Amino acid sequence: MVVKTHIEYDSVDSIPHPGAGWTRFVCISDTHSRREPLPFGDVLLHSGDLSAWGYPHQVKAVISWLKEEPHPVKIIVAGNHDLCLDARLPIEAHVDETPESLESIREYVRSQEVKNAGLNYLEHESMEFTTEGGRSWKVYGSPAAPHYAGGAFQYKNEAAAKELYNRIPLDTEILLTHTPPFEVLDLTRKGKNAGCRFLGERLEMLHSCRLHVFGHIHEARGALILKNEDNNERVAVNAAIAHRGSKPIIVDISH
């Protein structure tokens, strides 16, 4: 596997696609209801915090934006801001919303209309797709993150974390999570590593994983190429673009 990452560049049109034999992934996260100019690629990956405050109309507006994007495959997960998508939260967590409005947006993100636009919503689940170049990829997506104040899809203890991350199939090649793993692009402004240890432990078992995209810790945006015990490479991408001027991160992977 050969990998090229593009973190800073002049414009969304300034980096040509490497051509046949490559898959181009365009990675974003933490857009918080903002529309951003996106480079074209084979696959668009969004690792959560689609919305600013988790209202159904905000999530629907983001879905409308992403439906319009021309990437053949688009895969998204939710994040801790996307309250309306977390069915576990009590109704009291949703200001001025009804059970009907919440059910409606949860159905909409999985609707055939959305899927027909090439947009796939994953919530602790897998999918597989084949690029126009003929490369098939196995993907898993999770919106979960360690508990911090209020929010959606959060877990509070070790048992819950392990149960969630043990669901990730061992043959996963592309992983989307909202949280980073511990000590991988997870350093906060206060110097704390805010990633999840248990996600990191699971990643050590995912020998087929070639790309892990996450966000959540805005200030830790960037990309690293890591090696596992089999000497296989995995690209880790904190794709948060909540800060003004931050660009989507492009990852090109050879077949």
Pairwise CA distance, residues 38 & 33, whole Å: 15
In SS3 terms, the chain reads as CCEEEECCCCCCCCCCCCCCCEEEEEEEECCCCCCCCCCCCCEEEEECCCCCCCCHHHHHHHHHHHHHCCCCEEEEECCCCCHHHCCCCCHHHCCCCCHHHHHHHHHHCCCHHHHHCCEEECCCEEEEEECCCCCEEEEEEECCEECCCCCCCEECCHHHHHHHHCCCCCCCCEEEECCCECCCCCECCCCCECCEHHHHHHHCCCCCCCEEEECCCHHHCEEEEEECCCCCEEEEEECECCCCCCCCEEEEEEC
What's the pLDDT tens digit per position in 137-180?
999 999 999 998 779 999 999 999 999 999 999 999 999 999 99
pLDDT for 96:
85
pLDDT for 243:
74
In the predicted model, is pLDDT for residue 240 greater than 90? Answer: yes
What's the pLDDT tens digit per position in 72-91?
999 999 999 999 999 999 98
Residue 44 and residue 121 in contact, taking contact as beta carbons nearer than 8 Å: no
pTM over 0.95: yes
- In the chain, the amino acid numbered 71 is H
| Alpha-carbon distances, residue 91 vs 99, 101, 142 (angstroms) | 7, 11, 22
Structure tokens at 44: 């668009």
User: Please, is 49 exposed, middle or buried when counting C-beta atoms within 10 Å of its C-beta (0-12, 13-18, 19+)?
Assistant: buried
Percent of the chain scored above 70 by pLDDT? 100
Domain segments of the chain as ranges: 3-254
pLDDT for 149:
76
Q: What is the mean pLDDT of residues 121-142?
A: 96
What's the pLDDT tens digit per position in 27-53?
999 999 999 999 999 999 999 999 999
Phi, psi of 213 (to 5 degrees): -115, 135
Q: Is the dihedral of CA 76, 80, 82, 86 positive or negative?
A: positive
| Alpha-carbon distances, residue 240 vs 140, 181, 232 (angstroms) | 19, 14, 25
In the predicted model, is pLDDT for residue 106 greater than 90? Answer: yes
Residue 161 and residue 219 in contact, taking contact as beta carbons nearer than 8 Å: no
**Bridge partners, residue 121, by sequence:** 76
pLDDT for 53:
94
Task: Return the CATH number of 3-254, one of 3.40.190.10, 3.30.300.30, 3.40.50.2300, 3.60.21.10.
Answer: 3.60.21.10
In the predicted model, is pLDDT for residue 244 greater than 80? Answer: no
Length of the chain: 255
